[in-house]
Amino acid sequence: MDWKEKIDKDRLPRHVAIIMDGNGRWAKQRGKFRTFGHQHGVKSVRETAEAAAEIGIRYLTLYAFSTENWTRPKSEVNALMKLLVRTINKESKTLHENKISLKAIGNLDSLPDITRRELFEAIKETQQYDRMTMILALSYSSRWEIVNAAKTIAQKIEAKEISSADIDQKLFESCLTTNTIPDPELLIRTSGEYRISNFLLWQIAYSELFFSTKYWPDFRKEDLYEAIVDFQKRERRFGKISEQIIK
């Protein structure tokens, strides 16, 4: 099936977010260590970024490491952090070639120095590109982000910059790490798990969800395109009734 051809270019989601899951099981199926799966997931990141940029997606957010992932065995966490440095380094070529700017959300202070340095360098080097923004969620969890936003607001009140009456959705959103990024219209999760795992809870209030049974290292361009075609078949009502929706 040529999914790309079926995409209506006028009705693209502006922002696609992906929970990249299943690296460990992919490796296990092949009798390898979990890190083997993480290594092979890099190709899927490259393919997905290229595929999204090719059709004109403006924002692509990838959940790469959650706050909860710090509780994995130390050896896996270390391997993931090392892989991250290598990948950012190697894949900066993909970013330049495709004119993709890099951003990151999450508790970046908790990353090892070298990882953070590489990350900030790649962010700086690509900031001029506006074809697509790729956002890596690193040491990210939505509850962490929401609690942080609440703290920021409390501090503004303490400093008498605002009063509690000023708190509304817009103000709250402006205190989230995603404040410059529109909400994702489409959220994809791979590996046949049907959960959100603490990802963008506020931002996905009205996102369409697409679950793929493929493990992340098997995810390719056509899989992204299939999800977008599926998204385009849906009627997004935002609480209204069907007759109220202008087609």
What residues act catalytically? 21, 69
Q: Does 80 bind Mg ion (CB under 5 A)?
A: no
CB of 240 to ligand IPE, least distance (A): 32
Q: Does 65 bind Mg ion (CB under 5 A)?
A: no
Positions in the binding site for ligand IPE (CB under 6 A): 19-25, 63-66, 69, 80, 191, 193, 195, 197, 216
Q: Which of the listed partners (Mg ion, ligand IPE, none) does 64 bind, with a CB threshold of 5 to 8 Å by partner kind? A: ligand IPE
Nearer to ligand IPE, 7 or 49 (CB): 49
CB-nearest residue to ligand IPE: 24
- Only one of the segments 21-29, 89-97, 119-127, 158-166 lies at the binding site for Mg ion (rule: CB under 5 A); that segment is 21-29
Q: Which of the listed partners (ligand IPE, Mg ion, none) does 140 bind, with a CB threshold of 5 to 8 Å by partner kind? A: none
CB of 15 to ligand IPE, least distance (A): 17
Own/partner contacts of 226-234, CB < 8 Å, gap of 24 or more, are: 226/1, 226/3, 227/16, 227/186, 227/188, 228/3, 228/7, 228/12, 228/13, 228/16, 228/55, 228/186, 229/3, 229/6, 229/7, 231/13, 231/185, 231/186, 232/7, 232/8, 232/11, 234/208
Q: Which of the listed partners (Mg ion, ligand IPE, none) does 65 bind, with a CB threshold of 5 to 8 Å by partner kind? A: ligand IPE
Tally Cβ neighbours within 10 Å of residue 90.
11
- Only one of the segments 14-22, 60-68, 152-160, 224-232 lies at the binding site for Mg ion (rule: CB under 5 A); that segment is 14-22
Angle between helices 34-55 and 221-232 (to 10 degrees): 60
Burial of 60: CB neighbours in 10 Å, binned 0-12, 13-18, 19+: buried
CA 212 to the chain's CA centroid? 16
* Interface ranges with Mg ion (CB under 5 A): 21
